[in-house]
Amino acid sequence: MLTFSIIKADTGGHVGHSAVHPAMLATASSRVHDAIDAGLLIDGTVAACGDDISLIMTHQRGTDAADIHGFAWDVFQSTTRVARQYGLYGAGQDLLSDAFSGNLRGMGPGYAELDLIERPSEPVICFLADKTEPGAWNLPLYKIFADPFNTPGLVIDTKMHAGFRFEVYDLHEHKRIWFDCPADLYEMLMYIGAPSRYVIHQVRSRTLDEVAAATSTQRLSLIAGKYVGKDDPVMIIRAQSGLPAVGEVLEPFAFPYSVAGAMRGSHHAPFMPVSLGQAHPSRFDGPPRVVALGFQVHDGLLGRQRDLFDDPSFDEARHQANVVMDYLRRHGPFEPHRLPLEDLEYTTMAQLEARLADRWEPLPSPGRQPATSPA
């Protein structure tokens, strides 16, 4: 059994919230190499999307393992120290606790993990995003694993005819449900179409009885009770041989769908698929970015990394994202560019409401004189 983990955190930005400083990446990489030498990890690499550092790791400790999570916590302490040393922005932003206590749940860093029995050839794609939220994966996961217009394999490959099981979390009420697709498809869409609250956590192949995809499902704003940055998500998807092909996994990102999270975590903007070299959201702290890193995992080793959106066939999606960004920006502080108030409630709306509570007065009842405005 092999465990594939991505653990990520924003521990400081360069410049502002736009990117990670190379010195922080160098520190994280050297810690990962030490952990490989020490036998904690089988393999590992470090990548950044926007101001978030992701540790991409293989090991044999299982998901939610205390020593793996503790290691990641230590690495993020180290990168925070580098960020302080260089005066980088928001040093230690996602580290919400003073001390590590056995598991990263609720502590700020996000993580996606899955256990797998390595197939003779094991293609794995890691998605890293910046300036958005975990529910941003709902739309592509639905298309990849449930929509035959995206994934012809659902029609052509008999190993996919039985469909896929989706585990969906309710982030507000801390509960979960399984949907068997295609049977439960319409019911599931009712929930996952509201991605700020309902988030796909895992997808399993019904034929292979294996995990095909796992996402990070933390929401920092809910954890911290106030706005502390955006919980930029990560996702792992296994591909091929009875699972969707690499091209089927990437296809949904050819449409730059709108996600929540740009500028102050408070705006909808198009999700732009980019290479690592372009994963630095600088216009209006956006548009939100997604990178896809492909690996042929072999004997637990990651092998050579492929930067999968570094491909001109995604140029049109990037162009459309820029057009949509211009269109949305012209709404300024109005919805649907700005998030609906319910979502802002989890950021700063509550404070504003508390401040204005005394100034609200009831509307006059019918037949009464209109209230005069205060002098």
Is 109 a residue that touches ligand F6R (CB under 6 A)? no
Q: Which of 140-148, 173-181, 217-225, 259-267 is the region at the interface with ligand F6R (rule: CB under 6 A)?
A: 259-267
Burial-class residue 275 by CB neighbours within 10 Å (0-12, 13-18, 19+): middle
Is 14 a residue that touches ligand F6R (CB under 6 A)? no
- Whole-number Å distance between alpha carbons of 134 and 126: 14
Backbone angles phi and psi of 258, in degrees to 5: -85, 135
Q: Which of 72-80, 116-124, 210-218, 257-265 is the region at the interface with ligand F6R (rule: CB under 6 A)?
A: 257-265
- Return the number of the residue (69 or 280) whose C-beta is nearest Mg ion: 280
Q: Which of 22-30, 244-252, 262-270, 316-324 is the region at the interface with ligand F6R (rule: CB under 6 A)?
A: 262-270
- Are 163 and 182 spatial neighbours (Cβ–Cβ below 8 Å)? yes
280 binds, among ligand F6R, Mg ion, none (CB under 5 to 8 A by kind): none
> Which stretches within the chain are classed as H helix?
22-37, 66-85, 138-146, 153-156, 185-192, 220-224, 246-250, 262-265, 315-329, 341-344, 350-356
Which pair of structure tokens corresponds to residue 103? 């598991």
263 binds, among ligand F6R, Mg ion, none (CB under 5 to 8 A by kind): ligand F6R
Distance of closest approach, residue 60 Cβ to ligand F6R, in angstroms: 34
Considering only residues 38 to 97 of the shown chain, the ones binding ligand F6R according to CB under 6 A are 90
Is 131 a residue that touches ligand F6R (CB under 6 A)? yes
Is 152 a residue that touches ligand F6R (CB under 6 A)? no
52 binds, among Mg ion, ligand F6R, none (CB under 5 to 8 A by kind): Mg ion
270 binds, among Mg ion, ligand F6R, none (CB under 5 to 8 A by kind): none
How many other CB atoms are there within 10 angstroms of residue 306's CB atom?
A: 15
133 binds, among ligand F6R, Mg ion, none (CB under 5 to 8 A by kind): none
- Return the number of the residue (153 or 270) whose C-beta is nearest ligand F6R: 270
Distance of closest approach, residue 16 Cβ to ligand F6R, in angstroms: 6
Considering only residues 279 to 318 of the shown chain, the ones binding ligand F6R according to CB under 6 A are 285
Considering only residues 173 to 232 of the shown chain, the ones binding ligand F6R according to CB under 6 A are 229-230
Distance of closest approach, residue 265 Cβ to ligand F6R, in angstroms: 5
Using DSSP, state whether 94 is helix, strand or coil. Answer: coil
- Whole-number Å distance between alpha carbons of 287 and 67: 35
- Return the number of the residue (89 or 257) whose C-beta is nearest ligand F6R: 89
Q: For residue 47, which of 86, 20, 68 has the smallest C-alpha distance?
A: 20
How far is CA 180 from each of CA 248, 288, 312, 318, rounded to the nearest angstrom?
20, 31, 36, 33
Choice from 61, 264, 283, 329 touching ligand F6R (CB under 6 A): 264
Q: Site for ligand F6R (CB under 6 A): how many residues?
A: 10
Residue nearest to ligand F6R (CB): 285
How many other CB atoms are there within 10 angstroms of residue 161's CB atom?
A: 13
Cite the active site residues.
Answer: 10, 227, 230
Distance of closest approach, residue 282 Cβ to ligand F6R, in angstroms: 11
- Are 51 and 19 spatial neighbours (Cβ–Cβ below 8 Å)? yes
Amino acid letter for position 197: R
Name the DSSP letter for residue 346: I
Strand-pairing partners, residue 2, are: 116
Burial 66-76 (b: 16+ CB within 10 A, else e): eebbbbbbebb
- Whole-number Å distance between alpha carbons of 94 and 84: 14
Which pair of structure tokens corresponds to residue 135? 């529910």
Chain contacts with ligand F6R (rule: CB under 6 A) = 16-17, 90, 131, 229-230, 263-265, 285
